[in-house]
Amino acid sequence: MSTISTMTEGLLIDGARGDASDGGTFDVVDPSTGERLATVAKATRADVNRAVESAHAALDSKAWGGMPPAERGRIMWRIAAAIRERADELATLESRDNGKPLRQARTDVQVAARYFEFFAGIADKIMGNTIPLGPGFLDYTIREPIGVSAHIVPWNYPIQIGARGMAPALAAGCAVVLKPSSEAPMTALRLGEVALACGVPPGVVNVVPGTGAEAGTALASHPGINQLTFTGSVDVGVQVAKMAADNVVPVVMELGGKSPNIVFADADFDLAAAGVANAIFQNAGQTCSAGSRLLVERRAHDAFVERLVARASTMRIGPGVSDPDMGPIISKRQLETIERYVTVGKEEGATVAAGGGRPSTDSLPGGFYFEPTLLDSVKPDMRVAQEEIFGPVLAIMVFDELEEAATLANRSQYGLVAGVWTRDINKAMSLASRIKAGQVYVNTYGAGGGVELPFGGYKKSGYGREKGLESLASYTQVKNVCVKFA
């Protein structure tokens, strides 16, 4: 168990920790216990203004704006090493902050370090091109940092998502203003501290925890930012995009998902059951890319669901730092939302094959817990099949033919991730070409963080790409230089 006591945390602006301009604070709750974990300074619009001004000053300075790209890369290597050195501390803090099992938090910390390693190697390789115009002309392009990059980070993967945006932004030479969720801001603040300690000049990384209504709105609508990366719900994403559009600021949007796992009768059931269960129950289903729909071939339904029921019924639920199979839900409000969806599913005709409510055991502390839940006999038009629940609830549907599987997979407003489980490469490749999703996995799901793999959605799952080389397009802008000579 953790020995971390209740903490007091300040904003991180221009290289220094400090109070909010009005002295305001908010409490962060440990979802495993329902008790206060920390008191954190609540950023105001004035604080966000100061953070953006600090970022611009850093961009204009020789310390950062004039730093050779190779040196940026060396700093990022140091950040990765420092994250690994503090891995136990950061994982424990992440687990307490949002409730996920300790081993999942440890994975998140390692993935965060990997982002900085990956982009450290790219910092001095962001190159332009020459364009042949014929004799008498030299034409070339340069990729320059886009400027001040704003990041609004959710509560479900704070250190991992914070790193996945910060690392390519720094590699490109941008300055960053990061607004973590008020429900889980702790490791984002630590990430900023680590960056400073490893040689990032003051003002290059600023962290402004606060509410979405105040700090988030102030950042998204700020005329001084040059780019915005947002991860969250569709409804909030639409509002954020509108605010950014008023200042003609480009946005990367990673929004919701209702991702399908498609299991054929010829699949390796042990492999597929493990993958399907992990895709929905990891982080208690609180993942945009969660595999929250199971499409299973009808003749395999009974045998495959039996395996899932066995897995769900034996999962250990408990406080994140005790390293259970599944931790708590982030908040009482989200817990009640999940309960309502299960009620709606039953009213619509779904049957509960496993779970379906709060655990009955008295051994759990006063946190926000929900059982791993399987809803069977789901029809494609049910709300539980169409709407993102953001909890450990799997909607199970059947199909008979490949064409039907493709149709069901695409019968969603979302298109983030999909999984295909089969021994038949023809089926797998046929579906991969038909599914409208940003990522399609075959006989796996997620690929261990997927740092190298471009990630983003089709349809209402968003636009733009994070991770991998493609993400650099969001943090750079192209300048063309054309020279005529005699």
Which is the catalytic residue, given 9, 94, 214, 254? 254
Give CA 25 to chain center in angstroms: 25
Distance CA 479, CA 77 (A): 28
Contact 272, 294 (CB under 8 A): no
CA count, 13 A, side-chain hemisphere, 295 = 26
Look up 482 and say whether it is catalytic. Answer: no
Degrees to nearest 5, angle at CA 396 with 393 and 400 = 165
Look up 254 and say whether it is catalytic. Answer: yes
**Token pair in block for residue 288:** 């945009």
Which residues does 183 contact at the CB level (< 8 Å), separation at least 6? 28, 29, 98, 155, 330, 331
Which residues does 50 contact at the CB level (< 8 Å), separation at least 6? 13, 14, 21
- Taking the alpha carbons of 60, 61, 67, 73 in that order, is the dihedral positive or negative? negative
Distance CA 415, CA 438 (A): 6
Helices (H), 294-331: 301-314
Contact 352, 370 (CB under 8 A): no
Degrees to nearest 5, angle at CA 452 with 451 and 453 = 95
Distance CA 27, CA 41 (A): 9
DSSP letter, residue 423: S
Distance CA 384, CA 393 (A): 9
Region for 138 from its dihedrals, namely left if φ exceeds 0, alpha if ψ lies in -120 to 50, beta otherwise? beta
Which is the catalytic residue, given 174, 183, 288, 466? 288
Distance CA 473, CA 283 (A): 30
**Catalytic residue positions, numbered:** 254, 288
